[in-house]
Structure 1
């Protein structure tokens, strides 16, 4: 026992953190007698890194701290009264980690400076695609093909490089990108000036990295069952020596999806109802997709590194078949006839992205990075639509046949340089430059004699050049931290339409400041403020005048007249005890780019396209909390209560500016549970609820989703079974409606969302190696194609 100089009981407390100021959970804390090293007491740190020893007596002790993967810490203590120790900082032990796979659980969600980190590796989510993982990432909302955070534009990065694909293509890409290679996902809520000004919020997907030499590989098969069956097969291979680190991965997915829609349109003659149309749509999509990714990392010497990355996606023959049955009624709801449209679309899509990155560590405190990217994108489609018309007695009286050919080709080239200086005293200076040039060529041809109203052949050429410069500074003091940056972007665009002539010529310079300040009030209270100005540019496919016809009276099109949108966001953030996070913010977007649907009451058709809104703004209070309820049960809660207002030009209505607003709520409750003592059985249960939301000018209410997953590892980790069921109660598909002025339409889209996924993965070679897998993303590629189908 320690020498007793007093009968008074004494308490010792403190906190264990990493060098990045992140709390360490479950660190081992041991208190020894300094005289003979006998054990006095032991404990583990809490989720916020804190610990406490109680019922001690005055005396001399040794405090020892250890955590797997970190160097141990030891400190002598002479205690005469209650003592709160300064933070204990553990440093990573790289030699201990070399070649070792850490199997101890860590928190699935962590708060770090300016971001939340969602750890995916070794959970049942790893059997899903990257897109399905994003659907279950705290704070992320998926609607149609779009991915958003806080109701706003979100950009996907992989290993700090941007994915240059638009929503539908990005969704397809992430669906074919295996989640078994994802280590964690960063949710960056206030990106620094280093990121492109039109990034918005950022989802940064991190993949695993090699730390020791050797070879390993894996083979994975996936089976999905919804209305139709779907199959996937993938293989990954990694090799590393002291000079070269190689990764090669290939996946093939054979998919067949079913979607069923119901809807109506109420047409007006002035303020009076004219016609009322109802429709049912049955849609089947079939395709086979191929995805190839290679990475060659060269260690040229101790300070110079070269990385070459290739990413190829190929979808050779997508087949979409539509059967749309429409029933027409007059103003007194008497049946007056209808039509039946049988449509088929054949599509071929190719995307090739190449990246070369050279990094030089100039000295121990400064790094230079040079990067260039080339992207080639090609999309070709042929659509046929055969419409039969029937009278009030359902007798056939007319047929129209519509056929179109469409083609789009984009090339993107970027070059950029980044320089960072560690200025010591917890400060960092970064600056850099980037140039990007984009060329897009598209055409839409109507074949045959029949051409719909207000439609014609068109060829559209678009050119964009963007030059950007940035500087960013960050510094940490004991209780203060600041991050401030400024980015300037000069943009020149030109567009030429065969039908409309020269349009969309723009030449502008915009500045984008960004600042965030945090103050540590005391051990448990952190207060921060932030401001960011950003931009949202039109995506290339949204400028393309191509039309996709659901039937002759319902189509989706591009809009070559789109221009930039400017965003301002300011917020106040408060964090209690590291894991109770409150975020109160205001966001305003002038010229917000959004997808709107309008009904032409005179010509009786419905069309959907991107338009610049007059303005959008929202007030929101968000709350995030995460913790271990037990040693084997980790839970995270995210909620957002908001007021949302959007004003836009009501193109087909008497009152030309329409405002829509709503109060809404978005909530997620995610659970990760270890079921067995040997930790080979794990489960996930995720709940999501959304009410009060505008998707363009469509209103959505009361959407609920439940997903569950189960994971089992066998053969000492070489084999892995995963079972997941998405949308357990088939409740995620809810109706969308428009009801203002002379616009009244409604539809309920019901694609396959309740899907059972079963997968098995087998690892061979030295499977305990960590891999270097990552993917290629470039900035402008994300704007390649917008083809969201209603």
Structure 2
């Protein structure tokens, strides 16, 4: 910025913007730039009379850059006298340009991946590869993201991720979140933001960082919308359809979305276990096939009302309704080691799932004055209801096919309810043009009620198995407050924040008469330094402390039945784990980024497996098993060759290490790993586009498990018609069917191999039609509002 600024006087700049017919222009953007290097200082909008005012400007030479879609951009040089309190600028006249809309449509194309405000942003809107996919499909194809067979999401190789939708925490278990994302139409997703080191403004939960899924929201003037129809097939059918409608007139913006998803999934599992050693070793060789169907409806409706020029009130209602059917067949061949089969266990499961979520959100954004002071208050109420039941039939056969014993009939009935209330306030207060304070508070309350019934059929009647049934109620209340101070000194931006969270939790097993309460305070500092080395290069360093509170599903002590030889069990005695995270990032030419990081977690919550060699029963639970150390280097390389080929390649190299002094067998494991994601777009003609995505993950070690490598190639084409109002998209995911999940472990007395193959190769055809007014009229707000809403800002 100009070095000739006076130190004792601020000047107000005002003027008018008109067209060639001398009519005032509303909502033109006026950007104040430093004349020396064109660096951004601040921006305002013209009002209905075409007038604008830029307050508190120091003396110096500037440019006023004035723009509005449909007009040529105007640059107007001005000089501000340090001794003057007011400067009236001559009227700015914008000249209409007939081709402006066409030019904006070309130049406004976002890169597939970009780094903004410390977050890696994946722009998926309008992508042929996103069309027809679910939100979970899109998420697991994002750089550094992996989703295992149980729905657990990891970021940069680490679990413990907080997943948010439009900046709101979901508070769901891994399975419930996976069900929701599987049933969410990917056509409604605008972008996915990945942040491994968010600021103190955001919840401290999530030791691996935050993933924020941003949904589309239309802001065009008038009435408009988008209709999308998609059909696909792999081993079973897939179909998605969605309708988005928006009506914006004057101070009121009404919007509504409805989507329907009807998908079937196939999954094959091979599990091989060797139990014991030597001549007494037993072999369990299991083959299972899962056929699942999910149909869901998702509705969102809301209103934005600009009650004054400085105040906007927003209300949003959303509902999610899912019905599912699960069918599985498992054949478990049992024998001595290197011997013929002596018996077989066949397990049939027929299950039903009914799930719905209702939520209501109200938000008030008040811009206190033109200096940038702002107060945002928000409240959210959500309810989730999940009713799952499973009927298991176990058949026990001898090697010759005769019955070993009578069949076993089991019923699991698992209703659960979750009630969530949150309220928060965020305040921004600029101190000078180069410094500001942000502060806020949040209160959240989560109550989960799970009443699991386990029934055995005896003599034709269902009888409650009191040893396995369990009623568990979990309550968690978190009160938080934060403050962030940021200051720019020359070309160095300094940001320091502190978040304080008080947590109260109560895990009450009504059946076992067992209660586990926790009440604790935690401090979460956050510091970052960013140095601008030159106009296009900068370097930064940051530190943050985060927490991973045990999920209520992991705390529930009930037994989740799989078959007579395997089950899952919760652990009500899990403690929270804490992570200290350090990052160094470098940006070259404003687009190439290099990030190096180190994270250390104490009392990491991880999955453990135990096996009884006498009963042949294995079970999985979660424990505070180890300390975890992660080193990683992430490189993001966007590339454009002419106007035809553009690409983005993201490479993440890491080392995951785990140590624990367990009484049975100590853990001291570590391994280097590599993840790569490369997206390529070929604009063959203005209306025809080809897209490809290549993914690779090397072998990894996660706690006691070894995870195998995989690679995949996706490809899609996009053809537009009718001035891009109509788009046809054809895409095939995992063309070569190379995304199996391979897991092995030889820890302690475990000798297990798992090979899981799900339906990843799917062809999809999607039709998208944009109707109504498509002419953009920018919403009156400060230009930085979108960036400030991103994760990590």
TM, length-normalised to structure 2:
0.82
Change (3 A) 1:266 1:670: same
Residues 649-728 of structure 1: matches in 2 within 5 Å?
655-676=664-685, 679-695=686-702, 697-728=704-735
| Cα contact 2:704–2:747 (8 A) shared by 1 | no
CA gap of 1:182–1:347, structure 2 versus 1, over 3 A, is: closer
CA distance 1:157–1:508, shift in 2 (3 Å): same
Secondary structure of 1:107 counterpart: coil
CA drift of 1:752 comes to 0.3
Q: Does residue 1:262 correspond to 2:270, yes or no?
A: yes
CA contact (8 A) 1:621 1:642 kept: yes
What does 1:387-426 correspond to in 2, within 5 Å?
387-398=394-405, 399-426=407-434
Match of 1:640 in 2: 652
Check if 1:357 corresponds to 2:363.
yes
Q: Which one of 107, 128, 131 corresponds to residue 111 of structure 2?
A: 107
Per the TM alignment, residue 283 of structure 1 is displaced from its structure 2 partner at its CA by 1.0
Aligned to 1:42: none
Match of 2:495 in 1: 483
Q: Residue in 2 aligned with 1:557?
A: 569
- Deviation (angstroms), 1:727: 0.8
Match of 2:230 among 217, 222, 241: 222
Q: CA deviation at 1:71?
A: 4.3
Contact kept, 8 Å, 2:667 with 2:704, in 1: the verdict is no
In the alignment, is the contact (CA less than 8 A) between 1:718 and 1:762 conserved in 2? yes
CA distance in 2, matches of 1:247, 1:669: 35
Q: How far 1:222 sits from its partner (Å)?
A: 1.0
**Deviation of the 1:513 alpha carbon:** 0.3
1:172 is paired with a residue of what secondary structure? helix
Q: What residue number does 2:448 align with?
A: 440
CA distance in 1, matches of 2:144, 2:518: 35
Q: Using the TM superposition, give the Cα deviation of residue 490 of structure 1 relative to its aligned residue in structure 2, in angstroms.
A: 0.5
Change (3 A) 1:526 1:228: same
Count of residues paired in the alignment: 695
1:723–1:757 Cα contact (<8 Å) kept: yes
1:272–1:114 CA distance, 2 compared to 1 (3 A): farther
CA distance in 2, matches of 1:579, 1:211: 28
Equivalent-residue separation in structure 2 for 1:125 and 1:477 (angstroms) = 44
Quick check: 1:753 aligned with 2:765?
Answer: no
RCO higher in 1 or 2 (8 Å CA, sep ≥ 6)? 1
Deviation digits for residues 693-731 of structure 1 (CA, Å, limit 9, x no counterpart)? 135532112211111111111111221111111111111
How far apart, CA to CA, are the structure 2 residues paired with 1:591 and 1:233? 44
- Secondary structure of the residue aligned to 2:760 is coil
1:130 aligns with 2:135: yes
**Match in the other structure for 1:120:** 124
**Local SS of the residue matching 1:603:** coil
Q: Which residue of 2 aligns with 1:304?
A: 311
With over 3 angstroms needed to count, the CA separation of the structure-2 counterparts of 1:17 and 1:381, relative to structure 1, is same
CA gap of 1:660–1:109, structure 2 versus 1, over 3 A, is: same
The answer for the alignment partner of 1:461 in structure 2 is: 473
In the alignment, is the contact (CA less than 8 A) between 2:455 and 2:464 conserved in 1?
no
Kindly indicate whether residue 628 of structure 2 is the aligned counterpart of residue 616 of structure 1.
yes
- What displacement does 1:560 show? 2.3
Could you tell me how far apart the structure 2 residues matched to 1:767 and 1:689 are? 39
Q: CA deviation at 1:435?
A: 1.0
SS of match in other structure, 1:102: helix
Task: Assess if the C-alpha contact under 8 Å between 1:99 and 1:212 holds in 2.
Answer: no
- Distance in 2 (CA, whole Å) between partners of 1:576 and 1:243 is 42
Distance 1:112 1:342, change over 3 A: closer
**Aligned mate of 1:516, from 516, 528, 534:** 528
User: Which residue matches 1:340?
Assistant: 346
Secondary structure at the residue paired with 2:553? Answer: helix
Counterpart for residue 333 of structure 2:
327
**Aligned 8 A contact 1:420 1:430 in 2:** yes
1:504·1:563 contact (CA, 8 Å) conserved in 2?
no
Partner Cα separation in structure 1 for residue 759 and residue 622 of structure 2? 26
CA contact (8 A) 1:377 1:410 kept: yes
Q: CA deviation at 1:636?
A: 1.4
Distance verdict in 2 for CA 1:635–1:477, change over 3 Å: farther
Q: Which residue of 1 aligns with 2:88?
A: none
Alpha-carbon offset, residue 273 of structure 1: 5.5
1:291 aligns with 2:295: no
1:315 lines up with 2:315 in the alignment: no
Asked whether 1:166 is paired with 2:173, we answer yes
- Structure 2 Cα separation of the partners of residues 380 and 408 of structure 1: 6
Hey, what's the Cα distance between the residues in 2 that align with 1:680 and 1:165?
Answer: 41
Shift of the 659–477 alpha-carbon distance from structure 1 to 2, 3 Å rule, reads same
Deviations 1:305-362 (CA, angstroms, capped at 9, x unpaired): 211111111113x111111001111144342212111111111111112111112111
Query: For residues 51-200 of structure 1, what are the structure 2 equivalents within 5 Å?
Result: 71-73=73-75, 102-104=105-107, 105-127=109-131, 128-144=133-149, 145-152=151-158, 153-199=160-206, 200=208
Equivalent residue runs for 1:522-561 within 5 Å: 522-523=534-535, 525-561=537-573
Structure 1: segments with no counterpart, 5+ residues: 1-13, 22-62, 77-92, 773-790
Which whole-Å deviations, capped at 9, do the CAs of 1:746-783 have from their partners, x for residues lacking one?
Answer: 111111011111111122222445899xxxxxxxxxxx
Partner residue in 2 for 1:6: none
> Is 1:210–1:240's contact at 8 Å kept on the other side of the alignment?
no
- The whole-number CA distance in structure 1 between the counterparts of 2:245 and 2:591 is 38
Cα deviation for residue 110 of structure 1 reads 2.8
State the SS of the aligned residue for 1:180: helix
Per the TM alignment, residue 448 of structure 1 is displaced from its structure 2 partner at its CA by 2.7
Residue 278 (structure 1) aligns with: 285
SS at match of 1:591: strand
Alignment correspondent of 2:486? 474
Residue deviations 1:570-615 (CA, integer Å, cap 9, x gap): 1222233233322222111112223333333232122223322221
| 1:764–1:166 Cα change, 3 Å | same
